[in-house]
Amino acid sequence: MYEKDGEKYFIVDSHSHFWDASRENWKPGAEQFAKGWIDCFYGYHQLGPPETHWDYEHYLKVSPEDFEKDMFQEGHVDYAIFQSTYLKEWYTTGFNTADQNAQLLEKWGDRLIVNGRFDPREGDEGLKQLEADCAKYHHKGVKLYTAEWNGDSRGYKLTDPEAYRFLQAAQDLGIKNIHVHKGPTIWPLDKDAFDVADVDHAATDFQGLNFIVEHVGLPRIEDFCFMAVQEPNVYAGLSVVIGGLMHARPKFFAKVIGELMFWVGEDKMLFGGDYNIWVPKWQVEGFVDWQMPDDEAFTDYAKLTTTTKKKILGLNAAKLYDIPVPAELQLPTTADESMQPGEELVDNTAGAQA
Amino acid sequence: MNLRARVWDALTTVLDPELDEPITDLDFVESCTVADDGVATVVLRLPTFFCAPNFSFLMVADAYDAVSALDGVTRADVSLADHHAAAEINGGVAAQAGFVGTFGDEAVAELDELRAQFFRKAALAGQDRVARPLVDAGIGPEELAGMSLGELLDTPELARMRKRRAALGLPHGDDAPLLIDGDGRRITSEQVPLHLRRARLQRIGIETNGEYCKSLLQTRYPAGAAAGRG
């Protein structure tokens, strides 16, 4: 919980990690990729305020104690949702696996949500695994990497019949939230891995599921917004948006937030701090203090109210994940409720100011 | 103009297809030298080790084509530094193998469609760049919907938008409408407000991506290491 000027904010960090990029974990023969990957993250890290920059060695691997301090003690986070990333071709024991995350569950199980995963290309075996995972962890969400290679396959679409079978099974097993990674990838080489068209169709056909597009589809934010406006069960995951832009490129941050508020709306935006690319402290505090600039270039955009910020920083995600919120911190949000798309935006006749 | 300056000039025509900006403005040219025997050596660099290989390939290949076409250049040696697929890309471009020839089974098609997709985005973003000053000056939807390119001031932004449209076979002459949809049809006055919002979002999308890349490049290569203009 974060308190500022008498206002209390319930914080849900919907996108965090607990990775091991230590040199000991760089797979022999693949060191340059393991190093290249974490160096890439370290580049993003440096887009935060200078006083928050870490030493490279510390950045490679944090301890459970660091996590506790950075997230819960100093970072104001009430609940965090883990998304895992395996990358076992480069990291001997994996970059950020469910097992690694589980180390923290013992101590912080009441404040951590570990999301599951599935890959429709794994067929019946995969379905069985999903059932077993759900029985064990009671998953409410999964993270999917549609561009991931698997054997001869160069990725899949959510609209593949097999993917539909898994989405249906997930829904039947009580999963509500599908986090879709539409973001930087390495392979497949020749496709646009950011393409969100498949989310569009799946969201229409699975009204009982919520689809959270991580990193708001950056660098294809326009494709994401054009799609999200038609699909009331599609959400914007703000991971990388706040961390990467709020400090380093404040004007562009303002424009992106302004556009998201218009196309997606404050009930469908979810804070994600991306630990430990960045720590949540400066992101939460900075966002609470942040306001749409008064310059003429931003007059079209809505100002953010305290209510807006409370929803984005935690209340929307709390609703998607049924996280208990203390009564005095609650506010109504339409997150997780079925709604009709804004027709005026869909049929091209919105009266938005030109 | 000496040969080094002409090589640099040729590089200014090479675009990052996603960002729709010249690689020279983006500081992607690490070094550019020309030897007495006419061999031009160009080294490119990118914001991260894992920048997408397809776009990286296009930039190296386009730079090779632009430089090797110059009179006086006996050989163009264009390479990419510090990239996970540098060896494949550099070898493939030098051998003129094309994208599929370079990456074999890992690529299923050449990159023309990908390039066209980004020209379409650039053509939409261009409508915001050209029309926004008119909107700010108080020109309303009715009038904007009726405007053609020939009525507009000849700005670099207009020239750039015409070029992108031309590349896609969309109307780009003086009688072409200022505001068109993806198929080249004139936008009606009722559609203007939302169309402009879309164009602006498209522009913000591309430019935000560009700002991200510039920030990461600065972090990776602190100032002072640039090739500089010829």
- As a 3-state breakdown, chain A gives helix, strand, coil percent values, each rounded to 5, of 45, 15, 45
> A138 pLDDT exceeds 90?
no
Please name the residues in contact with B1: beta carbons below 8 A apart, sequence gap of 6 or more. Answer: B9
| Residue A99 to residue A84: CA distance in whole angstroms | 9
Question: Does residue B185 belong to any structural domain of this protein?
Answer: yes
pLDDT at residue B230 tops 50: no
Q: Is a pLDDT exceeding 80 seen at residue A152?
A: no
Residue B39 lies in a domain: yes
Confidence of residue A263 (pLDDT cuts 50, 70, 90): very high
Provide mean pLDDT across the span A215-234: 88
Is the pLDDT confidence value at B20 over 70?
A: yes
- Given B108, B140, B172, which residue is the final one in a domain? B108
The C-alpha of B6 sits at a distance from chain A's nearest C-alpha, in angstroms, of: 32
In a domain, B229, yes or no: no
- Sign of the C-alpha dihedral computed for residues A124, A128, A133 and A135 taken in this order: positive
**B216 contacts in A (CB within 8 Å)?**
43-44, 47
Q: Flag whether B22 is in a domain.
A: yes
CB contact under 8 A, B204 and A221: yes
Residue B228 lies in a domain: no
Residue of B nearest to A226 (CA): B198
User: Within this chain, do residues B152 and B200 fall inside the same structural domain, yes or no?
Assistant: yes
Q: Give residue A150's pLDDT.
A: 73
Q: Is B133 part of a structural domain of the chain? A: yes
Place of tokens 């679409």: A157
Q: Which residues of A touch B106 (CB under 8 A)?
A: 187-189
Report, as an integer, the average pLDDT of A265-275: 96
Any CB–CB contact under 8 A between A188 and chain B?
Answer: yes
Q: Is B88 on the interface with A (CB under 8 A)?
A: no
Q: For residue A342, what pLDDT is reported?
A: 59
B193 touches chain A (CB under 8 A): yes
Phi, psi of A116 (to 5 degrees): -90, -170
Whether residues B146 and B79 share a domain: the answer is no
Higher pLDDT, B176 or A189: B176
Task: Give the pLDDT confidence of B73-82 residue by residue, as tens digits.
Answer: 999 999 999 9
- If asked whether residues B22 and B47 sit together in one domain, one would say yes
Residues in chain A with CB shorter than 8 Å from the CB of B111 are: 190
Domain range for residue B201? 113-211
Q: Which CATH number goes with the domain that contains B50?
A: 3.30.300.130
Cα(A179)–Cα(A196) distance, integer angstroms: 12
- The reported pLDDT for the residue numbered A195 is 81
Percent of chain B with pLDDT over 90: 82
As a whole-number percent, the residues of chain A with pLDDT over 70 amount to 92
What is the structure's pLDDT at A230? 87
From B82, B108, B134, the end of a domain falls on B108
Q: What SS3 class is residue B147? A: coil
DSSP B61-107: HHHHHHHHTSTT-SEEEEEE-S-TTHHHHHHHHHTT-HHHHHHGGG-
Distance between CA atoms of residues B169 and B157, nearest Å? 18
Question: Looking at beta carbons, which residues of chain B come within 8 Å of A248?
Answer: 211, 215
* Beta carbons within 8 Å of B42's beta carbon, 6+ residues apart: B7, B11, B29, B31, B32, B63, B67, B76, B77, B78, B79
pLDDT band at B54 (very low <50, low <70, confident <90, very high): confident
Q: Are residues B85 and B66 in the same domain?
A: yes
Which residue has 């505001």 as its token pair?
A: B179
Based on the fold, state whether residues B97 and B121 are members of the same structural domain.
no
- Closest partner residue to A40 among B50, B198, B215, by Cβ? B50
**Stretch among A15-24, A137-146, A345-354, B193-202 having the lowest mean pLDDT:** A345-354
Model confidence band, residue A351 (pLDDT cutoffs 50, 70, 90): very low
Same domain (yes/no): B79, B97: yes
- A151 or B83: whose pLDDT is higher? B83
pLDDT band at residue A145 using 50, 70 and 90 as cut-offs: confident
State the pLDDT at residue B190: 96
pLDDT of residue A354: 36
The answer, yes or no, to whether residue A153 has pLDDT greater than 80, is no
**B209 with A218: Cβ contact below 8 A:** yes
User: Does any CB of chain B come closer than 8 Å to the CB of residue A346?
Assistant: no
Domain check: are B99 and B37 in the same one? yes
Do B107 and A43 lie within an 8 Å CB cutoff? no
What is the rounded distance in angstroms from the CA atom of residue B67 to the CA atom of residue B4? 10
Chain A residues touching B121 at Cβ < 8 A:
222
For residue A327, pLDDT over 80 is answered with: yes
Has residue B179 been placed in a domain? yes
Confidence of residue B39 (pLDDT cuts 50, 70, 90): very high
Q: Are residues B120 and B195 in the same domain?
A: yes
Using one digit for the tens of pLDDT, what is the confidence trace for A27-51? 999 999 899 999 999 999 999 999 9
Longest Cα–Cα distance of chain B, Å, equals 61
Comparing alpha-carbon positions, the chain B residue that sits nearest to A244 is B212
For residues B102 and A147, the model is more confident at B102
Of B61, B20, B31, B6, residue with least CA distance to B163: B20
What pLDDT is stored for residue A237 in this prediction?
Answer: 94
Contact A340, A41 (CB under 8 A): no
Q: Are residues B203 and B119 in the same domain?
A: yes
Q: Which of B78, B108, B138 is the last residue of a domain?
A: B108
Q: Per-residue pLDDT for A154 more than 80?
A: no
- The ipTM, to two decimals, is 0.90
If asked whether residues B96 and B7 sit together in one domain, one would say yes
Number of separate domains in chain B: 2
A245 has pLDDT over 60? yes
Q: How far apart are the first and last CA of chain A?
A: 40
The two three-digit tokens of residue B131, written as one number: 């029309």
Is the Cβ–Cβ distance between A82 and A112 less than 8 Å?
yes
Q: Are both B77 and B97 inside the same structural domain? A: yes
> Are A222 and B193 within 8 A, CB to CB?
no
Predicted confidence at residue A350, as pLDDT, reads 47
On whether both B11 and B102 belong to a single domain, the answer is yes
Across residues B32-47, what is the average pLDDT? Answer: 97
| Residue B124 counted as domain residue | yes
Interchain contact A219–B (C-beta under 8 A): yes
